[in-house]
Amino acid sequence: MTPETVTGAAAMQERASAWREAGRSVGLVPTMGALHAGHAALLDRARGACDVVVLSIFVNPRQFGPGEDLETYPRTLDADRALAAAHGVDLVFAPGEKEVYPEGFQSTVSVGTLTRRLCGLDRPGHFDGVTTVVARLFGLVRPTRAYFGRKDYQQAVVIRRMTEDLALGPEIVVCPTVREADGLALSSRNRYLSPAERERARAVPEALVEGARRFQAGETGAAGVLKGMEGVLARGADRIDYVAACHPDTLEPVSRLVPGTVLLVAAHVGPARLIDNRILGAPTP
């Protein structure tokens, strides 16, 4: 069944109020479109737990920095709506920029120290854009639960912190990363890669595998493990933004690795900036 598509903020609020009055649970999967199997997994998770599933599609200009790929970011609304239909979505919310940020909009949501490390160092202002749009979507859709992928680990931590701090309401559900057969995490930006770059991009998940292997072998000093990961990553990456070992909740860097420590990497391969992570002690993906 083809889902209803809503483009207006007021119409979205009307639907949300009706669902709330009827006592129906609402699952929201916020995206920028260009959907893939990772998004499909989020939709399936929402479909299994909620009465109503909403997919939002909005390429958010506030989370792109100067020189980033705002203008070239893939926009595939027809294909996205087809995938939504195949996975039981009830409503696609696809607003324009003026519906999300209407005339006179002046608010920005910032989340302290969590956003001033890792990706926040290389993409200043990025997380303010993410948290502001997510808070706005929460206000329009009023979801019971909102679903995010673990590939964007820092983003999930930041959104959970914002949601708890501001008592916004929805339960934040973080779902496992979906990967290609060779281990590369699915991402809308993977389509930027040429076949040769796609082969080199395997160094990103392979670096995480190397970190987990060293930990499983008994190495607990973060410095040595991270150096080994950098060596693997450098085989394929054109530029490395960071290789880090952090506390899973605070994202503070750690010097000793323990089960639950999260390893995170960010690197550029060709035109794509790729991020990935691995939680130590978790089952092998």
Q: Which residues are catalytic?
A: 39
At which residue do the structure tokens 């394929």 appear?
236
What are the DSSP E strand ranges found in the chain?
4-6, 26-31, 52-57, 91-93, 145-149, 171-175, 239-246, 262-269, 272-279
Q: Rounded to whole angstroms, how far apart are CA atoms 78 and 19?
A: 26
Question: Exposed/middle/buried for 104, CB within 10 Å: 0-12, 13-18, 19+?
Answer: exposed
> Under DSSP, is residue 189 helix (H, G, I), strand (E, B) or coil?
helix
The number of residues in the chain equals 285
> CB–CB of 263/228 below 8 Å?
no
Q: How is the beta sheet containing 52-57 ordered, strand by strand?
A: 4-6, 91-93, 52-57, 26-31, 145-149, 171-175
- Tokens for 55, please give them: 């997919």
User: Is the alpha carbon torsion for 132, 100, 142, 52 positive or negative?
Assistant: negative
Q: How is the beta sheet containing 272-279 ordered, strand by strand?
A: 239-246, 262-269, 272-279
Cα–Cα distances (Å) from 112 to 91, 161, 266, in that order, read: 33, 10, 21
> CB–CB of 256/222 below 8 Å?
yes
